């Protein structure tokens, strides 16, 4: 999403000495010159930021708490435009000042360049530092962290944290802007993959690949497992196998809210609830118990889905049964959930195992048991007819290119959720330009008139300055007004741009509300006769590590995607009559590869993929899920950040290029799930830790 294009990890890696001082963020400071900048005044010599760090380390610089607080406050002030006196050290930077974890890390990056920071150059502790820094949310907490890290990581000795002030300097490296979607953390590490980044978007599909036998190299003796009962003896058969291998087993019914003590003394958890006949368990219901498993550092976390043994992908051995878009395939989203967990705890055995529920309980139990003993296996394994499969991401370019006039025309009606903002708005505009089709935009925000006092404010910085000068609002209130004005402007701008080419209408609706959304679909159909193309682009991200993620937050991210798609599916089955409608679901490579901090987003996007795959052939409607790589939407990402991504093998999609890929897909594609990214799958391979 546009709120978060930069990967937190990437930013962190650049903080750790790789690209000193290379990041800044919007909004640019509006009153920077007025801010007292004691740390800058202390600067006199011309050396690079890196040299300065060396000097600071060599001289074992000392930091007082007051000095550090002033230094951090000055940087926050510069970056936000707020005068230091409006910044309270105990203010929540994220909630009150819209400084998300990426921006917090940028602040530390800047501090690292000015005064040097503990542990910054030590590759062995970088992961630990990333985890720690993502939790630090106030200026005081940042200061406390620096002091604590200085003691622990030894750049500064404990007794040196006293009352002197170190020399500091301005960073010398030019700044870049950041954009906002956290995309699947590529491999990280130091390998420079720049040369492998494709110049343009590439199209990939998923193909089943048969795997060899399990390696069975893990000892289960004396390990303890909790199993969720499947109600049809698979859990019992699996218990027998585990007990024969010397493990202890506790079989329990599915849990909504797990007891904190559930995993005390337990090594592994195996969730078989998707296999319970006649029950529907949605992927978001699995979250609380897997979260507890992550917190308790279990060695095995396993979710079993009943998608047919091939994750719904047709292969040599299977053709999936068709499930209309509005219905949920059993265990959909579980692979995405497990992939994201696997990214956060790479040294545990985290697996999604897909089985064919029609097979004998004993056969299924044996297959699942085999995967538990194979520590080096793939995170997602499908098993059918005793054969093991994984999904491979393979390139599959379309031979022909087209614009949107090949799939829609002036008489078409196109409805786009999330279409008034972000990447979907760019697509809506191009559709209008190419075809003249009637465009219906659906978004959460209600359209409002702008306060006259902002009429001369050109950008966020200027809106913020007006509010700061009024001195009647807190920074938290100011941020909320700035955001609201920005959203209104973006929606109005989209409507104006589209209206040059097509009739256009904006509806305010929360697509999580099935009745409200279905009513809009009804109204559009009643007024315009049909809806020929629906693009479900609505989405939100609320990135947090699993331990910090609440069920409410998970649900918001999940429901926006999944409930929206479900309503579209149900509406098509029940009320669309005979018209065939094409439905495009916007997913993300986060669902395909997993991503640290995006357990909800990865689950939801994977769920959409499964919905599209199973919907194939279920009705006359065509359903496609497009898993996008990160976009350079609206020119927000350039310069240093783009180069950082590319170093890790992930290029940002050029919007024109990405949009033309979608147009060609609609014209010539026939797959249910397509990945469009400017990277090669190798960029997302995990470190060979297991
Ligand atoms: N940008 C990327 O690089 C990227 C990469 C991969 C996938 N994607 C996918 O592409 C889609 C668009 O992403 P984006 O970056 O353009 O996002 P964005 O700029 O944040 O825009 C999201 C849009 O969705 C709308 N929306 C959110 N929740 C909604 C709800 N409950 N009901 C109705 N509308 C809702 C928002 O409306 P309001 O503004 O009114 O709240 C906004 O118009 C998402 O599905 C995302 O997962 C994007």
User: Each residue of 182-191: pLDDT tens digit?
Assistant: 445 555 444 5
**Ligand 1 neighbour 651 (Cβ under 6 A):** no
Closest CA to 574 of 324, 297, 263: 324
With beta carbons less than 8 A apart as the criterion, state whether 284 and 254 touch: no
pLDDT in tens, 489-522: 999 999 999 999 999 999 999 999 999 999 999 9
CA 539 to centroid of ligand 1, rounded, Å: 4
| Chain position carrying tokens 């080419």 | 501
Which residue from 422, 439, 555, 626 has its CB within 8 A of the most atoms of ligand 1, so it is best to mutate? 422
Please tell me the least confidently modeled range out of 202-206, 207-211, 311-315, 579-583: 311-315
With beta carbons less than 8 A apart as the criterion, state whether 677 and 202 touch: yes
pLDDT at 125: 60
CA 625 to centroid of ligand 1, rounded, Å: 15
Give dist(CA 328, CA 685) in Å, integer: 29
Q: How confident is the model over 223-238, as a mean pLDDT?
A: 94
Give dist(CA 597, CA 642) in Å, integer: 21
CA 274 to centroid of ligand 1, rounded, Å: 30
CA 100 to centroid of ligand 1, rounded, Å: 18
User: Ligand 1, atom 18: nearest CA belongs to which residue?
Assistant: 422
Please tell me the least confidently modeled range out of 14-18, 73-77, 598-602: 14-18
Q: How confident is the model over 372-400, as a mean pLDDT?
A: 90
Which residue from 183, 420, 423, 484 has its CB within 8 A of the most atoms of ligand 1, so it is best to mutate? 423
Please identify, by atom number, the ligand 1 atom nearest to the C-alpha of residue 3: 20
C-alpha to C-alpha distances, 244 to 230, 240, 584, nearest whole angstrom: 20, 6, 49
**Ligand 1 neighbour 554 (Cβ under 6 A):** no
With beta carbons less than 8 A apart as the criterion, state whether 69 and 93 touch: no
**Ligand 1 neighbour 560 (Cβ under 6 A):** yes
pLDDT at 650: 85
**Ligand 1 neighbour 1 (Cβ under 6 A):** yes
Which residue from 204, 418, 521, 606 has its CB within 8 A of the most atoms of ligand 1, so it is best to mutate? 418
Question: Of 642 and 104, which is predicted with more confidence?
Answer: 104
**Ligand 1 neighbour 590 (Cβ under 6 A):** no
CA 111 to centroid of ligand 1, rounded, Å: 33
Please identify, by atom number, the ligand 1 atom nearest to the C-alpha of residue 601: 47
Averaged pLDDT of the chain: 81
For residue 342, what are the contacts with CB-CB under 8 A and spacing of at least 6?
A: 348, 350, 379, 594, 686
Identify the three-state secondary structure at position 353: strand
Token pair of 177, please?
A: 């802007």
Please tell me the least confidently modeled range out of 117-131, 368-382, 387-401: 117-131
pLDDT at 580: 84
Token pair of 647, please?
A: 């170093």
Question: Of 31 and 582, which is predicted with more confidence?
Answer: 582
Q: How confident is the model at residue 104 (pLDDT cuts 50, 70, 90)?
A: confident
- DSSP for 1-48 reads -GGGBS-HHHHHHIIIIISTT-B--SSPPSSGGGS--HHHHT------
Please identify, by atom number, the ligand 1 atom nearest to the C-alpha of residue 560: 31
HSE of 245, CA atoms in CB hemisphere, 13 A = 21
Token pair of 327, please?
A: 């219905």
Give dist(CA 84, CA 70) in Å, integer: 9
User: Ligand 1, atom 43: nearest CA belongs to which residue?
Assistant: 418
Give dist(CA 606, CA 332) in Å, integer: 7
Please tell me the least confidently modeled range out of 82-86, 121-125, 214-218, 430-434: 121-125
Q: How confident is the model at residue 2 (pLDDT cuts 50, 70, 90)?
A: very low
Closest CA to 220 of 200, 239, 236: 239
Share of the chain above pLDDT 90, in %: 53
**Ligand 1 neighbour 3 (Cβ under 6 A):** yes
Token pair of 405, please?
A: 């006039």
Q: Where are the beta strands (DSSP E) in 396-484?
A: 413-417, 438-443
pLDDT at 145: 83
pLDDT at 172: 28
Residue 402 pLDDT > 50:
yes
With beta carbons less than 8 A apart as the criterion, state whether 102 and 11 touch: yes
pLDDT at 360: 95
C-alpha to C-alpha distances, 401 to 404, 624, 677, nearest whole angstrom: 10, 17, 17
Share of the chain above pLDDT 70, in %: 77
pLDDT at 234: 96
**Ligand 1 neighbour 510 (Cβ under 6 A):** yes
pLDDT at 48: 36
- Show the 3-state SS of 624-636: EEEEECCECHHHC
Give dist(CA 303, CA 381) in Å, integer: 11
Give dist(CA 547, CA 453) in Å, integer: 43
- DSSP for 491-524 reads HHHHHHHHHTTS-EEEEE--TT-HHHHHHHHHHH
Give dist(CA 521, CA 110) in Å, integer: 49
**Ligand 1 neighbour 417 (Cβ under 6 A):** yes
Q: Which helix (H) or strand (E) holds 225?
A: strand 224-228
**Ligand 1 neighbour 630 (Cβ under 6 A):** yes
Residue 210 pLDDT > 70:
yes
pLDDT in tens, 584-597: 999 999 999 998 88
Q: How confident is the model over 263-292, as a mean pLDDT?
A: 93
User: Ligand 1, atom 31: nearest CA belongs to which residue?
Assistant: 510
Please tell me the least confidently modeled range out of 127-131, 177-181, 288-292, 660-664: 177-181
Residue 577 pLDDT > 90:
no
**Ligand 1 neighbour 540 (Cβ under 6 A):** yes
Q: What are phi and psi of 149, to 5 degrees?
A: -65, -35
Residue 111 pLDDT > 50:
yes
CA 1 to centroid of ligand 1, rounded, Å: 6
Q: Where are the beta strands (DSSP E) in 513-572?
A: 533-536
Residue 214 pLDDT > 90:
no
pLDDT at 36: 27
Give dist(CA 599, CA 558) in Å, integer: 10
Please tell me the least confidently modeled range out of 40-54, 92-106, 615-629: 40-54
Which residue from 442, 536, 538 has its CB within 8 A of the most atoms of ligand 1, so it is best to mutate? 538
pLDDT at 315: 61
What pairing do the DSSP bridges indicate for beta strands 268-271 and 248-252?
unpaired
Residue 33 pLDDT > 70:
no
Residue 300 pLDDT > 90:
yes
pLDDT in tens, 127-163: 666 667 667 888 888 888 888 877 776 544 444 444 3
pLDDT at 135: 74
**Ligand 1 neighbour 511 (Cβ under 6 A):** yes
With beta carbons less than 8 A apart as the criterion, state whether 97 and 476 touch: yes
Give dist(CA 76, CA 259) in Å, integer: 41
- Per-residue b/e over 656-681, b at no fewer than 16 CB within 10 Å? eebbbbbbbbbbebebbbbbbbbbbb
Q: How confident is the model at residue 43 (pLDDT cuts 50, 70, 90)?
A: very low
For residue 656, what are the contacts with CB-CB under 8 A and spacing of at least 6?
A: none
User: Ligand 1, atom 41: nearest CA belongs to which residue?
Assistant: 444
User: Ligand 1, atom 13: nearest CA belongs to which residue?
Assistant: 1
pLDDT at 458: 93
Question: Of 684 and 335, which is predicted with more confidence?
Answer: 335
């Amino acid at each position: 999403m546009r709120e978060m294009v930069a990967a937190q990890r990437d930013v962190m890696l650049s903080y750790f000495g790789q690209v000193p001082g290379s990041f800044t963020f919007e909004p640019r400071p509006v009153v920077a010159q007025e801010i007292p900048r004691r740390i800058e005044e202390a600067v006199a010599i011309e050396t690079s930021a890196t040299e300065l760090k060396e000097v600071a380390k060599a001289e074992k610089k000392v930091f007082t708490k007051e000095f550090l607080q002033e230094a951090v406050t000055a940087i926050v002030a510069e970056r936000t435009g707020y005068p230091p006196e409006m910044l309270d050290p105990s203010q929540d930077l994220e909630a009150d000042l819209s400084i998300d974890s990426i921006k917090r890390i940028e602040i530390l990056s800047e501090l690292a360049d000015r005064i040097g920071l503990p542990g910054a150059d030590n590759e062995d502790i970088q992961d630990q530092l990333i985890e720690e820094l993502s939790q630090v949310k106030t200026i005081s907490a940042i200061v406390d962290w620096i002091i604590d890290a200085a003691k622990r990581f030894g750049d500064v000795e404990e007794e040196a944290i006293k009352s002197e002030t170190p020399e500091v300097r301005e960073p010398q490296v030019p700044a870049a802007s950041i954009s906002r979607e956290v995309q699947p953390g590529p491999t990280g590490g130091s390998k420079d993959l720049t040369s492998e980044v494709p110049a343009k978007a590439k199209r990939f599909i998923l193909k089943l690949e048969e795997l060899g036998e399990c390696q069975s190299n893990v000892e289960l003796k004396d390990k303890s497992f909790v199993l969720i009962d499947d109600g049809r003896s698979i859990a019992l058969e699996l218990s027998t196998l585990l007990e024969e291998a010397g493990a202890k087993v506790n079989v329990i019914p599915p849990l909504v809210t797990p007891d904190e003590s559930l995993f005390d003394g337990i090594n592994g958890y195996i969730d078989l609830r998707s296999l319970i006949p006649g029950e529907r368990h949605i992927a978001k219901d699995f979250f609380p118990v897997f979260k507890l498993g992550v917190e308790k550092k279990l060695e095995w976390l396993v979710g079993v889905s009943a998608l047919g043994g091939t994750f719904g992908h047709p292969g040599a051995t299977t053709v999936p049964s068709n499930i209309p878009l509005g219905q949920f395939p059993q265990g959909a989203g579980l692979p995405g959930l497990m992939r994201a967990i696997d990214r956060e705890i790479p040294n545990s055995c985290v697996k999604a195992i897909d089985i064919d529920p029609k097979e004998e309980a004993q056969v299924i139990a044996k297959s699942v048991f085999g995967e538990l003993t194979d520590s080096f296996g793939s995170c997602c394994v499908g098993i059918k007819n005793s054969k093991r499969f994984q999904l491979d991401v393979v390139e599959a370019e379309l031979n022909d290119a087209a614009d949107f006039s090949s799939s829609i025309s002036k008489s078409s009606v196109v409805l786009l959720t999330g279409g008034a903002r972000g990447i979907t708005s760019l697509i809506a505009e191009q559709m209008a330009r190419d075809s003249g089709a009637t465009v219906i935009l659906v978004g959460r925000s209600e359209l409002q008139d702008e306060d006259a006092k902002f009429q001369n404010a050109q950008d966020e910085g200027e809106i913020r300055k007006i509010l700061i000068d009024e001195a009647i609002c807190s920074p938290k209130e100011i941020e909320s007004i700035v955001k609201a004005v920005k959203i209104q402007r973006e929606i109005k701008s989209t409507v104006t741009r589209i209206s040059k080419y097509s009739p256009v209408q904006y509806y305010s609706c929360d697509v999580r509300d099935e009745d409200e959304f279905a009513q809009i679909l009804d109204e559009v159909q009643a007024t315009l006769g049909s809806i020929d193309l629906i693009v479900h682009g609505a989405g939100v991200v609320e990135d947090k590590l699993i331990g910090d993620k609440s069920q409410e937050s998970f649900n918001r991210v999940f429901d926006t995607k999944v409930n929206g798609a479900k309503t579209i599916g149900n509406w098509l089955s029940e009320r669309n009559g005979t018209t065939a409608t094409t439905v495009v679901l916007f997913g993300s490579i986060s669902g395909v590869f997993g991503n640290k901090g995006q357990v909800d987003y990865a689950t939801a996007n994977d769920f959409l993929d499964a919905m599209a795959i199973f919907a194939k052939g279920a009705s006359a409607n065509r359903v496609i899920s497009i898993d996008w790589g990160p976009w350079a939407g609206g020119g927000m990402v350039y310069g240093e950040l783009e180069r950082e991504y590319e170093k890790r093998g992930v290029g940002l999609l050029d919007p024109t290029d990405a949009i033309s890929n979608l147009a060609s897909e609609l014209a010539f594609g026939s797959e249910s799930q397509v990945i469009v990214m400017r990277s090669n799958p190798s960029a997302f391979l995990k470190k060979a830790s297991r």
